[in-house]
Structure 1
Amino acid sequence: MIVAGASVQGTAHLATGQGCQDAFKAVDLGDTAVLAVSDGAGSRDRSALGAHIAVDAACRLLTQDIPDAGAAPEAWTAWIAGRGKRVVEEYLRAVTGVLGASGAEDPGALAATLTAAVVHPPWVAFLSLGDCFGTLLTRDDRCHLVLPPPTGPPPFLSSPGAALRLRSFVVWEPELDAVVLATDGCAALTLDHPSVHHLPPEAGPLPAGGFFLGLAATLRENHGDAEPLRRRLAGPEAGRTGDDLTVLCALVEGG
Structure 2
Amino acid sequence: MITAGAAVQGTAHLAGGQGCQDAFKAVGLGGTAVLAVADGAGSRERSALGSHIAVNTACRVLAEGIPRAEDAPQVWTGWIAAAGARVVEDHLRTVEGVLSAVPAPGGPVRADALACTLAAAVLRPPWVAFLSVGDCFGTVLTRGPAGAGAVGAGARVRERCHLVLPPPVPGAAETVFLSSPGAALRLRSFVLWEPMLSGVVLATDGCASLTLDHPSVRELPPETGPLPSERFFCGLAATLRANGGDAEPLRALLSGPGAARTGDDLTVVCALTDGR
Superposed pair shares fold, TM > 0.5: yes
1:150-175: per-residue Cα shift (whole Å, max 9, x none)?
A: 13232000000000100000000100
Q: Tell me which residue corresponds to 1:237.
A: 258
1:144 counterpart residue number: 162
TM-score when scaled to structure 1? 0.98
Alignment map for 1:1-255 (pairs within 5 Å): 1-100=1-100, 104-140=108-144, 141-151=159-169, 152=172, 153-255=174-276
Give the Cα separation in 2 of the matches to 1:139 and 1:210.
Answer: 15
Following TM superposition, by how much is the alpha carbon of 1:105 offset from its aligned partner in structure 2, in angstroms? 2.8
**Counterpart residue identity of residue 200, structure 1:** P
Q: Give % identity.
A: 73
Q: Give me the CA root mean square deviation.
A: 1.3
SS at match of 2:177: coil
Shifted more, 100-109 versus 37-46: the winner is 100-109
Structure 2: gaps (5+ residues): 145-158
SS in structure 2 of the partner of residue 113 of structure 1: strand
Structure 2 distance, partners of 1:33, 1:93, is 25
Structure 1 Cα separation of the partners of residues 85 and 203 of structure 2: 22
Within 2, Cα distance between the matches of 1:249 and 1:160?
30
Unmatched 5+ stretches in structure 1? none
Q: Aligned equivalents of 2:183 and 2:224: distance in 1?
A: 28
Deviation at 1:83, TM superposition (A): 0.3
Cα deviation digits, residues 75-118 of structure 1 (max 9, x gap): 00000000000000100001111222899432110001000000
Moved over 3 A (4+): 101-104
Aligned partners of 1:181 and 1:130: how far apart in 2?
13
Structure 1 distance, partners of 2:233, 2:142, is 11
Moved more, 6-15 or 148-157: 148-157
CA–CA separation in structure 2 for the residues paired with 1:70 and 1:51? 33
Asked if the contact 2:132/2:189 (under 8 Å) is kept, the reply is yes
Cα-to-partner distance string for 1:127-168 (whole Å, 9 max, x where unaligned): 001111000111032211000001323200000000010000
Distance 2:66 2:166 in 1: 25
Alpha carbons 2:241, 2:275 under 8 Å: kept: no
Does the residue aligned with 1:23 lie in a helix, a strand or coil?
Answer: strand
Counterpart of 2:250 in 1: which secondary structure?
helix
Q: Which has the larger radius of gyration?
A: 2
**How far apart in 2 are the matches of 1:182 and 1:254?**
22
Aligned positions, number:
255
The residue type equivalent to 1:89 in the other structure is E
1:195 and 1:19 mapped to 2: Cα distance?
35
CA distance in 2, matches of 1:202, 1:232: 28
Q: Secondary structure at the match of 2:96?
A: helix
SS for the counterpart of 1:218 is: helix
TM-score (norm 2): 0.90
